Structure 1
Amino acid sequence: MMLSPDQAEADLSWTQSDPETILNGLKSAGCASDEPAEGEDRTKCKAEQPLSREEKRRRRRATAKYRSAHATRERIRVEAFNVAFAELRKLLPTLPPDKKLSKIEILRLAICYISYLNHVLDV
């Protein structure tokens, strides 16, 4: 497609890929930042672009309240995980009995012990 020299530059606005130009366009539309400033209407840009499900999820996860709740859940999960390893460790015979074992060592020792018990039952 040939462009005539008298064609307006506005007709070519879709071809602009300069980030500064795009950012200036967003600022003029009032959509420059992801989070609204104090007192700014949250629905300012929603009429122009509805948020995708992924974008909504990303914004929800970016809040301090969500991060704090997630950190609390993760702490509880890790604590339960460590308690389970401690209970398994108590059931395994080792010399000395109070020897500190890593989680992988506990799992490997449990596998060997279960294998040994299966062998004892088969004989």
Structure 2
Amino acid sequence: MTKSYPVVYGYVRVSDRQEGAAQELRDELATWCAREGWHLGAVFTDVSAGIDVDDRIGFLGLLDALALPQARGAVVLDPAQLSPRPELITRMMRKMRATGSAVVCRSGELPPMALKHCQGQPELTS
């Protein structure tokens, strides 16, 4: 019997001045996921994303992927990858958790209101 690894999907947001850094961030996500024993299904990216999360093509793609039956979670390197604004991080966390998937940030601290959405989330274990 082959071992099953949890399928996760990543998200990266960069400004237009950092567009070249997007690949480095995707590679960093892939390395982290491999180290944790997670299968990284895809990484969704937004460049120069506006404030309205409903206009972020990459984030909307992430939400669609998290709705797939095999999806177990979303991975983000740092909450700042979601937004510099705590209220937007909280809104995005709420949307991701509404899919039933876990949300894991490698580093950085989530705003207190966003942390509330992580309570009771499933573990990403294989």
TM-score by length of 2: 0.21
Highest CA radius of gyration, 1 or 2? Answer: 1
Query: When you count strand as a share of all residues, which structure comes out higher?
Result: 2
Q: TM-score, normalised by structure 1?
A: 0.22
